[in-house]
Amino acid sequence: MSSVKPLWYRWARVYFAGGCLVGTGFLLYYTIRPTDEQLIARFSPEIREQYERNKELREAEQQKLMEIVKKTSASNDPIWKAGPIGSPFEKEQRNLSMQLIDAELFHKERFEDQQKQEIANANKEAEEAERLLSEKKKKSSLWWKFF
């Protein structure tokens, strides 16, 4: 005679096995998955440099996208009609550029801002040098007056 297990016992085994599978997956995910810093450290030097160079561009694109989302969510139109980003499913909008920010213009503006900052720093250093030089001349002229 075969002994038939009660129904609750069979379901308990199913839930236990499912819990073990989910728990193992969860544990493996959090122990094996590298952090962002570890992943970036594994990049080759060229790719790491490109990643760092384009980091600000990605942040600016994300900011622009959030502005579009806020504007679209405030509208009563359907989402595919309200935003400025065209739908790839409509024929007349398929070949539109999906770029939110022009990368060349962004890098050019950033380079110009860096140059302006460097010029401002150089001007401050020059003014400081002139001030120190004038103070030195004043002190040296006072020294000769005492003799």
- Residue 119 has φ and ψ, to the nearest 5°, of -65, -45
- Residue 102 has φ and ψ, to the nearest 5°, of -75, 115
Residue 39 belongs to some domain of the structure: no
The count of domains in the chain is: 3
94, 115: one domain: no
Q: How confident is the model at residue 33 (pLDDT cuts 50, 70, 90)?
A: very high
* Alpha-carbon gap, residue 82 to 69, rounded angstroms: 10
22, 63: one domain: no
Residue 95 belongs to some domain of the structure: yes
Quote the pLDDT of residue 13.
95
Task: Write the DSSP string, 47-91.
Answer: HHHHHHHTHHHHHHHHHHHHHHHHHHHHSSS-HHHHSSSPPTTSG
125, 142: one domain: yes
The residue range of the domain holding 139 is 103-146
Residue 58 belongs to some domain of the structure: yes
Stretch 48-66: mean pLDDT, rounded? Answer: 87
Give the chain's radius of gyration (CA, Å).
33
Quote the pLDDT of residue 83.
66
Quote the pLDDT of residue 137.
75
68, 110: one domain: no
